[in-house]
Structure 1
Amino acid sequence: MLSHYGLYAYGLVNKEPEHLDILGIDNQSKVYPVSENDMYVMVSKIDIDAFQNRIKGLVSELTNTKDTIQQGAAELLQAHEHVIDTLMQNTTVIPLKFGTILKDEKAASQMLQDQKEHFQNLLAKFTGKVEWGVKVYANKQALMKHLMQNDPKFIGLQEQRAKLSRGAAYLFDKKMEAEVKNAIATQFAHITESIFHAFESDAFEAKLNNILPQKMTGKTQEMILNAAYLIERGRETSFRQQGKQFVDEYNFIELDLEFSGPWPPYNFT
């Protein structure tokens, strides 16, 4: 059976990379540019059938193992991101969606022609900008302890409970448990909103992403914020410095911030 080859596309750049020597997603073919209208789409040759069969197998594995990323899937994603991350060291990159495959160089050129204005606008918009991810974690038990020891409402409720009979105390505990749960949710929402908007004030754009469960993060603390920010390249240090004040301000919930980047604008394209 003859192999069916095409071009795997990684992203768009506005200048041809110099001294390019990167292997593509198959770890065999080299990445190279196809140009049109002073824009370049970075591609590498790929066996389409082999790639699609590999993806189908990984999808099947992921379906049967919920909330976990198999090694094969991680390797493919990392290979895709490695190419884009290498390119962005020297130029602005507009990343294309994982799994974007073009028929041939003619199709790549045609894509650049058809989407000329859109791609030019994107390149202009993201030139000199990078994406940073911010994940925030907090200890729910620490917040509950803080509320019970410092919130006048809960101090008063505990004093009331101490005067109740065993039966009445049981029902009172159920009510107080619900009150504490609501207070924790409200407090976390307030803290999350405050942190999100503080970072947003130093960014061109910001985006909220889904909160990940603990079995995916591997953290003992709960994730309370997962956000992406588009910031000016070179402002990373001052952007990250903001995190220290939040760690100090919210030390009573053992706040932990995790930064990742710089990335191409994955969340904003």
Structure 2
Amino acid sequence: MSNRDWLCAYAITRNRDGLDLGPAPRLVGYRDLGVVVSEVTPARFDRIDTLDPVDGALAELAREHDAVVRAVFRHEPVLPLRFGTVLDGEASVKRLLEIAYDQARNCLDEVEGHREWGVRVRHVEPAATSRPDTAGLSGTQYLVRRRERLKAIQRGRENVGDVATRLDEALSRHAADHLGRTRPHGVLVNTAYLVAKSREAAFHAELEWFARELRQAGATVETTGPWPPYSFTDVELGVTADG
């Protein structure tokens, strides 16, 4: 790798004076937009696509990236860039921002005043194969009891699924946008919601109302956030540099 100034790009934001980014990151501006960058040794990002997600070095890089994005997000709307985006100097940053200018500006306008919240609903059903108490039961009575148990499990599954669907629909009405994620077995809702700050109180009131019903039915409801709009920005500013 040459001795050129390689820059790690974290996020796109407004190009405004006085933005407090801490000691290392800085803003490279183009018109009314800017990219938050810091000098980096590209070798730090070697094998970024092959490292184990729980690898210590990769986790440290991810925490650094998120900390910078959050620092900007406290003051200005932000478009987080792909983790590991490394560019060849300020000229490359400005050139690529010029190319993405219209898309980035429109996207910033859309997410301004909004925050991302994540909601996951999980339901672990009782094992259908577990044996009921058979003491004193005839074969016919055992089969009847087992059939009743299976019906109860099915009713519970349908009830929780219905409430989870209504929850997702209700929360979506309070959100400017929403994005469903992969749902592992037992997960009924796994969605990111982009919510205006002015709608957050109503969003969380709706969430808590449904959460009580879901918990009574044996489901768990997990909420994460507020986050920068990681799930709702698709501006690609650059590529990961080779080490």
Q: Given the two structures, how large is their TM-score scaled by the length of structure 1?
A: 0.72
- The 1:245–1:61 alpha-carbon spacing in structure 2 relative to 1, beyond 3 Å, is closer
Structure 2 distance, partners of 1:70, 1:184, is 40
Aligned pairs for 1:48-63 (under 5 A) are: 48-53=42-47, 55=48, 59-62=50-53
The letter of the residue matching 1:20 is D
In 1, are the aligned partners of 2:214 and 2:221 still within 8 Å (CA)? no
Match in the other structure for 2:181: 209
Q: Distance in 2 between matches of 1:48 and 1:82?
A: 19
Structure 1 partner of 2:113: 128
Higher relative contact order (CA 8 A, sep 6+): 2
Within 2, Cα distance between the matches of 1:187 and 1:71? Answer: 42
Quote the Cα distance in structure 1 between the aligned partners of 2:183 and 2:115: 22
State the AA in 1 paired with 2:214: Y
Aligned match of 1:155: none
Taking the aligned partners of 1:212 and 1:18, their CA distance within structure 2 comes to: 44
Letter in 2 for 1:243: L
1:240 aligns with 2:204: yes
2-side partners of 1:125 and 1:19: how far apart? Answer: 21
Which consecutive residues of structure 2, in runs of 5 or more, have no partner in the other structure? 234-243
Q: Answer whether contact 2:14 2:34 (CA < 8 A) is retained.
A: yes
SS of 2:194's equivalent in the other structure is strand
Residues 60 and 173 of structure 1, relative CA distance in 2, 3 Å threshold:
farther
Alignment pair present for 1:18 and 2:3: no
Q: TM-score, structure 2 length as denominator?
A: 0.79
Match of 1:32 in 2: 26
Alignment map for 1:80-229 (pairs within 5 Å)? 80-138=65-123, 140-141=125-126, 165-166=138-139, 168=140, 179-211=151-183, 223-229=187-193
Equivalent position SS for 2:40? strand
Residue deviations 1:78-127, cap 9 Å, x none?
A: 21111111101110001111111111111100011111111111111112
Give the % identical residues: 26
Assess, with a 3 A threshold, how the Cα gap between structure 1 residues 132 and 22 changes in structure 2: closer, same or farther. same
Q: In the aligned structure 2, how far is the partner of 1:84 from the partner of 1:195?
A: 30
Shift in Å, 1:236: 2.4
Which residue is equivalent to 2:230? 266
* Aligned residues of 2:25 and 2:38 also touching (Cα < 8 A): yes
Indicate the RMSD between aligned Cα atoms, in angstroms. Answer: 3.2
Instruction: Identify if the C-alpha distance between structure 1 residues 239 and 5 changes in structure 2 by more than 3 Å, giving closer, same or farther.
Output: same
In structure 2, C-alpha distance between the alignment counterparts of 1:21 and 1:91, rounded to whole Å: 11
